[in-house]
Amino acid sequence: MKNFNLQKITKVLLILAGLLTIAAILLYVIKPARRLIIDTPLETHVEVNAGDTLSKILTEHGVSGGDINTIATLLKQDCGVKGLRANSDVLVIKKKNGNAPVDKITLSTGPWKRVELSCDADGKWNADVISVRKDTRLVRKSGTISNGGIFVQAGIDAGIPIGTVYEIINLLAFEIDFERDIQPDQEFTVLYEENMLDGQVIDGGRIVAVLFDTHLDRRGKLKMYRFEKDDGKYGYYDDEGKGAIKSLKRTPIDGASISSKFNMRRKHPVLGFTRAHKGVDFRAPTGTKIPAAGAGRVVVRSYNKGYGNYIKIRHANGFETLYAHMSRFQKGVNVGTTVAQGQIIGYVGSTGLSTGPHLHYEIIKNGVHVNPMTVTFPRIDDLTASQKTEFLKIREKIDYALDTLASNPNLSIPM
């Protein structure tokens, strides 16, 4: 029995030793590969990392101190390059063969700029700023929200650049609450331009259209089209040409969690009996800034036993918003003050009938309390008759692109 155990232990130890050796070899191979992407005797790609300098990198490649000084001066005086930028610049260092000195260096600095340095037969270095071919390509990407319910992740999974994903969130911020409305299985489609550099995708450009299945009965499917007016100003419009810029924000405090939803029959946490909850409670620390959900005029700035310190703002289109339990009001915000959307009106607190610091937020439409999370806000109808005609033509073009790219993703469609 003892012998058997010993054999078993020896076997395990041998396997472990083998695994460690493999790991060590892998580490040895992988580590230098992170810095050198492609390594042939003739051409070496070097990504500039933090702490790297031109002098350090070129010295490592056998370039003499005198040549390094010449190259640095050429870059600075002829090409406007003062130094290397970490995590962005890439150098390609070339030599005729393994034993020859470096005679060509290409520096890609920023997405559109490339400098080529070459050494002639007499050992004289020259610098050229190379013009880079830029173009854009229209692409259509679709995705489905996964179980995590995170749109950012689903967007990245669909192959949309992160900057474009955040732009989509911004342009739909008044339509969708991306922290709370997003549910698994929601589908989305984005038509946008990719910025290309010598045939390689660099980043996302203009967003041309966004389709979003909101899964919310009252709001249904969202489809917004980019439209640029003659003065160069652009916006996103629905299929009828109504603008996406909304009068009110559903959630005035970014990132706050909901502690109590809109409910016309709720047992009140302090009073203990059923009482309608005519708003939404956002839990947030005392002192958190409260911005106005939309532009409007302050009509109430007061205190009562229920709401504590509260403010009511009247907006366009028959809407009013109310903010309760504030610890204090913002200085200069009084009855009659005109406020802009996002302007700070007060600070989160727990005054009045409240069990802890939170913002109690109400939206009132034509005198009736509505659920801030599901109310439909009016779209702004700001296109003139001729702009609308122009918009409908653009819409047709965009719809054609969406249809065509769905079946033929590689087709080139001018927009």
Contacts with Zn ion by CB under 5 A lie at 281, 360
Rounded to a whole number of angstroms, the minimum distance from the CB of residue 255 to Zn ion is: 18
Can you read off the two tokens belonging to residue 274? 């059923």
List beta partners, residue 360.
281, 324
Shortest distance in whole angstroms from residue 360 CB to Zn ion: 3
Q: Which is nearer to Zn ion, 258 or 415 (CB)?
A: 258
Cβ(57)–Cβ(86) below 8 Å: no
The distance of closest approach from Cβ of residue 306 to Zn ion in the complex, given in angstroms and rounded to an integer, is 10
Shortest distance (Å) from residue 245 CB to Zn ion:
28
CB of 167 or CB of 281, closer to Zn ion = 281
DSSP 215: -
Contact 178, 123 (CB under 8 A): no
Q: How far is the CB of 292 from Zn ion (least distance, A)?
A: 18
Q: Which is nearer to Zn ion, 2 or 305 (CB)?
A: 305
Residue showing the smallest CB distance to Zn ion in the complex:
360
CB 357, min distance to Zn ion, A:
12
- Interatomic CA distance for residues 383 and 235, integer angstroms: 10
Contact 73, 82 (CB under 8 A): no
Distance CA(356)–CA(284), nearest Å, equals 9
Question: Which among 78, 86, 46, 80 is positioned nearest to 63, based on CA atoms?
Answer: 46
- Please work out, in degrees rounded to the nearest 5, the angle formed at the alpha carbon of residue 170 by the alpha carbons of 389 and 89: 110
Specify the DSSP element, H or E, that contains 109: none
Question: By C-beta, is 12 or 276 nearer to Zn ion?
Answer: 276
Residue 398, SS3?
helix
**Which of 306/378 has CB closer to Zn ion?**
306
Alpha carbon 412 to its chain's center = 26
Closest distance of CB 342 from Zn ion, Å: 22
Q: How far is the CB of 277 from Zn ion (least distance, A)?
A: 6
Question: Do 297 and 345 form a contact (C-beta atoms < 8 A)?
Answer: no
Calpha distance 372→376 (Å, rounded): 9
Among residues 89 and 281, whose Cβ is nearest to Zn ion? Answer: 281
* Closer by beta carbon to Zn ion, 117 or else 324: 324
At residue 396, the 3 state secondary structure works out as: helix
How buried is 371 (Cβ within 10 angstroms: 0-12 exposed, 13-18 middle, 19+ buried)? middle
Closer to Zn ion by Cβ: residue 175 or 320: 320
